[in-house]
Amino acid sequence: MASHRKPVSVVTGGAGFLGSHLTDRLLAEGHRVIAIDNLLTGSVANIEHLAGHSDYRFIRHDVTNYIFLSGEVDFVFHFASPASPIDYLEHPIPTLKVGALGTHNALGLAKAKKARFLLASTSEVYGDPLVHPQKEEYWGNVNPIGPRGVYDEAKRYAEALTMAYHRSHGVDTKIVRIFNTYGPRMRLHDGRVVPAFIGQALNGEPITLFGDGSQTRSFCFVKDLIDGIYRLMMSATHEPVNIGNPREMTIRQFAEEIIRLTGARSPIIQKPLPVDDPKVRQPDISKARSLLGWEPKVDFEDGIRQTIEYFRSRV
Ligand code: UDP
């Protein structure tokens, strides 16, 4: 990279929850950012604060089609994909296409520009895990033909393609496996448990617990997650790295925490558990600790309070 200019980063999915927070961090680090998004699940509201920023450019484009960019690029962050269970159930084929064709185009861009590449992968590659907590060495337990298969297998294919570009074409690639993340800019109605429960609590509606609520998740605040991703891109490693918060809780405990922190009087009601809903999930972050010197810093209550504040003005 020439030293006389700012580094240039491309963020696919740049108008999404994570893509927009990543963009803010990159701009703060002195990068120029080219964000690409087709706005299928991303939102202009997430990036409107960047309008007119001299180091920021937004391109509305579906990365399952060829990505043409003139000029130099130093880093490609591939974040484009529907990411909430109801989104990928509603858009199964675009989810498969962006994981496969979109990853191919983003890798092709990185190869052509001699840029570093980072794939946003997911804890969903572990499926309904039989190993707990999940280490990167675990190969997973995924139902390829179930409703979640469109996302899980697209991301597994994307990981395989990323490693193939690394091994065959020498592209400097990174893979982050992202565990449940929350924070401002999640969509209120994206169906994920954090906006769902906070929205219901703030509206005084019943909290919809799927199943008996004994399934577990481990929630990471977005600021911590983005820090881990930035460190990974700047590191020398090529192997997948889990980034997430190991603080595990049952979904019932999570519902009770949301009721406590919002002061809501909402009752908890049970709904059927979605097909193939993982029973447990907790990242083993030993690799992130040793390779990146990273671990989450934001306390659960702090992060949730910030998220509640964000949703308060939007319900
Ligand atoms: N969940 C729930 N009620 C909701 C939404 C989700 O009980 O209104 C549960 C869901 O069944 C899962 C967990 O919360 O066990 C996390 O779901 P989410 O959709 O956030 O993401 P996942 O971790 O399953 O990808």
pLDDT by residue (tens digit) across 113-141? 999 999 999 999 999 999 999 999 999 99
Active site amino acids:
151
For the cut 90, the answer to whether the pLDDT of residue 3 exceeds it is no
Pocket-forming residues, ligand 1, beta carbon under 6 Å = 84-85, 180, 191-193, 196, 208-210, 215, 217, 251, 273-274, 277
Residue 215 included in any domain: no
Query: Domain of 39: which CATH number?
Result: 3.40.50.720
- Between 160 and 3, name the one with better pLDDT: 160
Domains identified in the chain, total number: 1
Residue 3 included in any domain: no
Q: What is the band of 150 on the pLDDT scale with cuts at 50, 70, 90?
A: very high
Q: Is the pTM of this model over 0.95?
A: yes
Residue 261 included in any domain: no
Supply the mean pLDDT for the chain.
97
Please state the rounded mean pLDDT for residues 98-123: 98
68-90 pLDDT, tens per residue? 999 999 999 999 999 999 999 99
Query: Which amino acid is it at 257?
Result: E
% pLDDT > 70, the chain:
99
The answer to whether the CB of 36 falls within 8 A of the CB of 80 is yes
pLDDT at site 89: 92
237-286 pLDDT, tens per residue? 999 999 999 999 999 999 999 999 999 999 999 999 999 999 999 999 99
Contact partners, residue 145, CB within 8 Å, separation at least 6: none
For the cut 60, the answer to whether the pLDDT of residue 53 exceeds it is yes
Atom 18 in ligand 1: which residue has the minimum CA distance? 192
For the cut 60, the answer to whether the pLDDT of residue 45 exceeds it is yes
Q: DSSP letters along 135-157, please?
A: PTT---B--TTSTTHHHHHHHHH
Residue 306 included in any domain: no
What's the 163 CA to ligand 1 centre distance in angstroms? 30
Q: Supply the range of the domain harboring residue 38.
A: 8-181+221-244+282-297
What's the 210 CA to ligand 1 centre distance in angstroms? 7
Atom of ligand 1 nearest to the CA of 281: 23
Please state the rounded mean pLDDT for residues 37-51: 97
% pLDDT > 90, the chain:
98
Residue 8 tokens, joined = 């240039």
Residue 169 included in any domain: yes
For the cut 60, the answer to whether the pLDDT of residue 2 exceeds it is no
The answer to whether the CB of 311 falls within 8 A of the CB of 199 is yes
What's the 132 CA to ligand 1 centre distance in angstroms? 18
Q: Within 13 Å, how many C-alpha atoms sit on residue 258's CB side?
A: 31
Number of H-type helices and E-type strands within the chain: 10, 13
Atom of ligand 1 nearest to the CA of 148: 25
The total of other beta-carbon atoms located within 10 Å of residue 247's CB is 13
The answer to whether the CB of 100 falls within 8 A of the CB of 108 is no
E strands, the chain, are: 8-12, 32-37, 56-60, 75-78, 116-122, 173-178, 181-182, 207-210, 216-218, 220-221, 240-243, 248-250, 268-271
Residue 292 included in any domain: yes
132, exposed or middle or buried, with CB in 10 Å at 0-12, 13-18, 19+?
A: middle
For the cut 80, the answer to whether the pLDDT of residue 167 exceeds it is yes
CA angle (7 as vertex; 5, 9 as ends), nearest 5: 145
Contact partners, residue 114, CB within 8 Å, separation at least 6: none
Residue 252 included in any domain: no
pLDDT at site 1: 52
d(CA 45, CA 156): 30
pLDDT at site 4: 86
